[in-house]
Amino acid sequence: MPALPPRYEAFWAAAERRHPRLARARDRFLEAFAFGSDEHVATSLAALVLQGDKRATASLVWTYEHDRKPQPRPGDLSIVNTWTGEPLCIIETIAVNVVPFEEVTEAFARIEGEDDKTLESWRRNHTAFFAGECARIGRTPHPRMPVVCERFEVVFQERG
């Protein structure tokens, strides 16, 4: 597991004061990240997380392999940032399933909480996002590409 970057020390310390169980959880830190591929998307998806509407996210197995990053596992803790890197909340991964793109379910699309929460809009939005990821990493998108379907819960939010 990666170490907590120093720039997030004060944020994590505030979380530890509010939730002592996080004091014993630094070894479960996975990453700090912003959702999406641009500032507008990052801002809107982070707002959905903070409101409790977005409780899941999807990514490509291929992206983790290409970037040599570990895939999330239940119990992992991550910091959700703004596009510019300001920490907003800490999430805990509660479940991870890897399925082909074409087998992502309506139930998962609903808890991912984006757009109108339908599988149709999920597929439309993620087809575009994953096409960009595939172009970046030199892969060709297809209906059987492996998707990491991660469910999470917010365990600390400084404001709110």
Q: How many residues does the chain have?
A: 160
Asked whether residue 11 carries a pLDDT value surpassing 70, the answer given is: yes
pLDDT one-digit tens code per residue, 129-148: 999 999 999 999 999 999 99
pLDDT one-digit tens code per residue, 70-110: 999 999 999 999 999 999 999 999 999 999 999 999 999 99
pLDDT at 20: 84
Residue 114 CB-density burial (10 A; 0-12 exposed, 13-18 middle, 19+ buried): buried
Distance (Å, whole) CA 58 – CA 126? 8
Which residues have C-beta within 8 Å of that of residue 73, sequence separation ≥ 6? Answer: 93, 96
Distance (Å, whole) CA 22 – CA 91? 11
Determine phi and psi for 52, rounding to 5 degrees: 90, 5
Task: Please check whether residue 55 is in contact with residue 151, taking contact to mean a CB–CB distance below 8 angstroms.
Answer: yes
Helix (H, G, I), strand (E, B) or coil at 92: strand
Q: Give 158's pLDDT tier (boundaries 50, 70, 90).
A: confident
pLDDT one-digit tens code per residue, 41-77: 999 999 999 999 999 999 999 999 999 999 999 999 9
Domain boundaries, the chain: 6-157
Nearest to 45 by CA among 103, 107, 115: 115
The token pair at 10 is 């004060």
pLDDT at 71: 95
- CATH of range 6-157; options 3.40.50.620, 3.40.1080.10, 3.40.50.2300, 3.10.400.10: 3.10.400.10
pLDDT at 160: 53
Distance (Å, whole) CA 90 – CA 135? 30
